[in-house]
Structure formats: structure tokens, C-alpha cells
């Protein structure tokens, strides 16, 4: 092709320049997006310390300790954790923030009285703990989540979606009231049946059903990725669930493998977001969990407060499961500091306002009842 028109040459140069990666972190005039991810019941001990040798060697929990060791063990903690969570420890630890390493004076705890899932997700999403939520039953949540609030704000309308492996999420997000699309549990149908969705529906029908209320995470992940590509939400919440169920099953091997797979899914999501012109450098990723787990080999499969155990009128374990209120959080994005581990003390109820503030919105104005944002994680 010969080009001798100077205007045309200039236009081609402009076009080429526009196609180059932008040198600044974020274009100020383009809106920010949010991806919130929860990994059900993943302990801070594994996030910051990698696999736990006591649990690997405990015959009650590990069927194949040699394979677990070969895949994830290393004598150095820093090497161990990167083997288990390569995305968290390569990308987020260097470009974002982490909190919850109790050995390094960084503390994040649930504020609710129960230390199990529904109260935890409610606390994350509404910015308050609700003492009235005392079970994981399918009850419509009386509290309003920040997802519902965002959906009512100009620019976010109809661009907020949620995907969960556990079938209680439509109740937690109260789809009846909020009208938010929540694809969770064994749900397969979605309104826009793209080819990829039809394939996922089929995969979902063929996948083993290990638990009555929780589907496998690759299905949740697949639907979420497809929604990102075809529906371009500005706010997306993905709740992975396998980790908690494998732990309740008493399988440390599977809990660890599930945690590792989820880290790969996070990498997959982040790579995709950074390769897409709409999301690249404009998207905040926040990762956290609904509760911890016991901090001893006996307690590890479980989680509940003493009050929850008493309420269940359990004969054993009335003291609750120590450690299961201890959680963690990781975040990365254009409004998040790149500081690695941050020392301090925070509550689960601060996550909602932090998410809103990361979008440069004022939580005090739009969600005044929520606990305050974790300001030290944010650049502004």
C-alpha cells in the first residue's frame, strides 16, 4: 500500500498510537469496574503459609500425602505459599495489597456472632453484621447489599451480576427484591443462550453432584467468564464454594487442590480483564472469604462460634471452633495501593464500603449504615 496523502499518514500514526498500551495506569474519564470474589472458608493459614504439614500428615484428612507434598510443599514458607496460590503471591503481592497474616500483625475478622456462611456473606455485602441471621437456610435477606445499591445508581443499572456455586446466593442477594441476576447452585438456564452457555449447561448436567446445594466451581467460573465477555457488567460478584465443602468432607487433599484451582481461575479472570480494552486498568479485584476454619487439626474441617454451637444444641464442641472468625483479603486495581501486606486490624463489615470507595463512590452517602472503608488499602 502506498500512502502519499499527509493527512492520511497522520491519521494512521494517530491510530497506531491509540492502539499502543497506554502508559498511565488509568484513563481518568473512563468508569471503574469491580470484580468481587469470595473463596468459601479458605483459611488465612494456607493463604499466607501454604500447605500445613500437620494436616498433610494427618491420616484422617490426607489420602495421598506424598502427592500433596510433591505438588505444594516446600520448607520455605514464601515458596510454599506461591506454590499453592501463584496468582496471589506473584501478581497481587507485588501490585496490590493483602491483609490477614496474623503472624505479621495484620488482622481481619468477622464481626458477626456465628462464623458461618450466610452471616458472613451478609456482612461482606451489606457492611453490617445482622444478629438475626442465625442459619444458612434459604431466607430472603432483609438487608440491602451494596450490589443492589450500585444497581440503582446511574451508570451501573442492569450492569451488576452475581455468580455463586452455593444455591443460597439468590436469597442472600435477595433477587426477589433486588432484581439482580444471580446464577447459582444447580441453575443452568440463562436468558442469552450463547453457544458457550449451551456448552456449559451441558457440562453442568454431566458434572458430578458432590453436594446437594453446591455445584463445582468450574461451572460457576465458566458462566461468569461468559457474562464478562458477552454482557460486559461493571460489577460482578463471583462466589466459589468447593473449598468449604471439601473441608467439611474432611479432605485436605481436595480442599488444597480446590484452593489452587481457584487461584488459577483468578489468574484467568485477571488476564482476561487486562486483555480487554473496556476492563484493562479500569477494574478493581477484591478477594476475600466468608469465614475461617479451626486452627488445629481437630478443628480444621469445621467453623462456628461458641454461640452458634450452643444454638445448634450440639453435645460436643460447645466452645465453638477457635480461629474460624479469622479471615483475609487481597485486592488489586487502579485505586488500590501496591503495598503487599498491610499491618492493622479490620472487620469483615468494612468490605462493602471498601468496595464502593474503590469505585471512587462515597460510601457514607450511598450506604450510610455500612461500616467504614479500609482507607489504608486505597490510593485516594
Strand partners, 182: 162
For residue 201, the minimal CB distance to Zn ion (Å) is 27
- The least distance separating Zn ion from the CB of residue 359, rounded to whole angstroms, comes to 30
Stretch that binds Zn ion, among 18-26, 124-132, 170-178, 241-249 (CB under 5 A): 241-249
Contact 377, 337 (CB under 8 A): yes
167 forms part of the interface with Zn ion (CB under 5 A): no
Stretch that binds Zn ion, among 13-21, 66-74, 188-196, 237-245 (CB under 5 A): 237-245
> Segment 190-209, which members bind Zn ion (CB under 5 A)?
none
Dist. CA 270–CA 265, nearest whole Å: 9
DSSP state of 373: P
Query: C-beta of 150: minimal distance to Zn ion in Å?
Result: 27
Counting residues that bind Zn ion (by CB under 5 A) gives: 1
Tell me how far, at minimum, the Cβ of 260 lies from Zn ion, in Å: 19
C-alpha cell at 369: 449504615
**CA within 13 Å, CB half, 8:** 5
How many C-beta atoms surround the C-beta of residue 137 within 10 A?
9
Rg (C-alpha) for the chain, rounded Å, is 21
Q: Write each residue from 335 to 354 as x if it is in contact with Zn ion (CB under 5 A), else as -, in one continuous string.
A: --------------------
CB of 39 to Zn ion, least distance (A): 12
For Cα atoms 100, 41, 145, give the angle at the middle one, nearest 5 degrees: 85
Window of 72-80, 87-95, 239-247, 282-290 that interacts with Zn ion by CB under 5 A: 239-247
Closer to Zn ion by Cβ: residue 236 or 304: 304
Q: For Zn ion, which is the closer residue by CB, 96 or 120?
A: 120
Task: Provide, rounded to whole angstroms, the least separation between the CB of residue 239 and Zn ion.
Answer: 13
111-126: buried (b, 16+ CB within 10 Å) or exposed (e) per residue? Answer: bbbbbbbbbbbbbbbb
**Among 167, 242, 244, 253, which residue sits at the site for Zn ion (rule: CB under 5 A)?**
244
123 contributes a contact to Zn ion by CB under 5 A: no
Least Cβ distance, residue 351 to Zn ion (angstroms)? 19
Closest CB to Zn ion among 146 and 211? 211
Q: Name the residue number minimizing CB distance to Zn ion.
A: 244
Alpha helices (runs of H) in 180-282, residue ranges in sequence order: 195-206, 217-231, 242-248, 252-274
CB within 8 Å of 228: residues ≥ 6 apart = 236, 269, 272, 273, 276, 279
Q: Can you read off the three cell numbers belonging to residue 63?
A: 489420602
Nearer to Zn ion, 143 or 243 (CB): 243
Stretch that binds Zn ion, among 85-93, 240-248, 252-260, 329-337 (CB under 5 A): 240-248
Closest CA to 271 of 219, 225, 231: 225
The minimum distance between CB 358 and Zn ion, in angstroms, equals 27
Crossing angle of helices 217-231 and 252-274, in 10° steps, is 10
Whole-angstrom distance, CA of residue 204 vs CA of residue 196: 12
Q: Is 242 in the site for Zn ion (CB under 5 A)?
A: no
Q: Which stretch binds Zn ion (CB under 5 A): 51-59, 243-251, 258-266, 358-366?
A: 243-251
The secondary structure element, H or E, covering residue 72 is helix 65-72
With contacts defined by CB under 5 A, name the span among 128-136, 151-159, 219-227, 244-252 that binds Zn ion.
244-252
**Minimum Å distance from CB 247 to Zn ion?**
7
- Give yes or no for a contact between 33 and 232, defined as CB atoms under 8 angstroms apart: no
Q: Which residues bind Zn ion (CB under 5 A)?
A: 244
Amino acid at each position: 500500500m502506498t500512502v502519499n496523502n499527509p493527512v492520511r499518514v497522520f491519521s494512521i500514526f494517530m491510530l497506531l498510537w491509540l492502539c499502543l498500551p497506554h502508559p498511565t495506569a488509568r484513563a481518568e474519564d473512563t468508569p471503574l469496574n469491580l470484580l468481587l470474589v469470595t473463596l468459601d472458608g479458605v483459611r488465612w493459614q494456607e493463604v499466607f503459609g501454604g500447605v500445613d504439614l500437620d494436616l498433610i500428615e494427618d491420616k484422617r484428612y490426607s489420602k495421598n500425602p506424598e502427592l500433596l507434598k510433591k505438588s505444594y510443599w516446600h520448607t520455605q514458607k514464601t515458596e510454599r505459599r506461591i506454590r499453592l496460590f501463584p496468582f496471589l503471591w506473584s501478581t497481587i503481592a507485588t501490585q496490590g495489597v493483602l491483609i490477614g497474616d496474623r503472624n505479621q500483625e495484620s488482622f481481619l475478622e468477622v464481626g458477626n456472632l456465628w462464623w458461618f456462611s450466610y452471616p458472613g456473606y451478609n456482612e461482606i455485602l451489606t457492611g453490617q453484621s445482622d444478629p438475626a441471621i442465625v442459619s444458612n437456610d434459604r431466607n430472603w435477606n432483609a438487608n440491602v447489599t451494596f450490589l443492589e445499591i450500585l444497581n440503582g445508581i446511574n451508570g451501573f443499572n442492569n450492569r451488576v451480576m452475581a455468580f455463586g456455586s452455593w444455591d443460597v446466593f439468590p436469597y442472600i442477594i435477595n433477587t426477589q427484591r433486588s432484581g439482580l441476576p444471580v446464577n447459582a447452585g444447580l441453575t443452568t438456564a440463562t436468558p442469552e443462550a450463547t453457544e458457550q452457555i449451551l456448552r456449559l449447561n451441558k457440562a453442568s448436567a454431566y458434572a458430578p453432584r458432590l453436594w446437594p446445594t453446591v455445584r463445582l466451581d468450574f461451572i460457576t467460573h465458566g458462566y461468569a467468564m461468559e457474562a464478562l465477555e458477552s454482557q460486559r457488567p461493571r460489577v460482578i460478584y463471583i462466589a466459589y464454594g468447593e473449598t468449604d465443602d471439601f473441608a467439611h468432607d474432611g479432605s485436605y487433599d481436595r480442599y488444597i487442590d480446590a484452593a489452587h484451582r481457584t487461584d488459577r481461575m483468578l489468574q484467568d479472570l485477571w488476564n482476561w480483564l487486562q486483555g480487554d480494552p473496556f476492563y484493562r486498568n479500569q477494574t478493581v479485584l477484591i478477594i476475600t472469604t466468608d469465614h475461617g476454619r479451626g486452627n488445629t487439626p481437630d478443628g480444621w474441617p469445621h467453623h462456628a462460634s461458641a454461640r452458634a454451637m450452643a444454638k445448634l444444641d450440639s453435645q460436643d464442641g460447645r466452645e465453638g471452633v477457635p480461629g474460624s472468625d479469622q479471615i483475609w483479603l487481597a485486592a488489586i486495581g487502579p485505586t488500590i495501593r501496591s503495598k503487599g501486606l498491610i499491618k492493622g486490624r479490620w472487620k469483615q463489615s468494612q468490605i462493602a464500603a471498601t468496595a464502593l470507595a474503590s469505585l471512587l463512590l462515597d460510601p457514607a452517602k450511598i450506604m450510610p449504615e455500612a461500616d467504614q472503608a479500609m482507607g489504608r488499602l486505597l490510593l485516594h
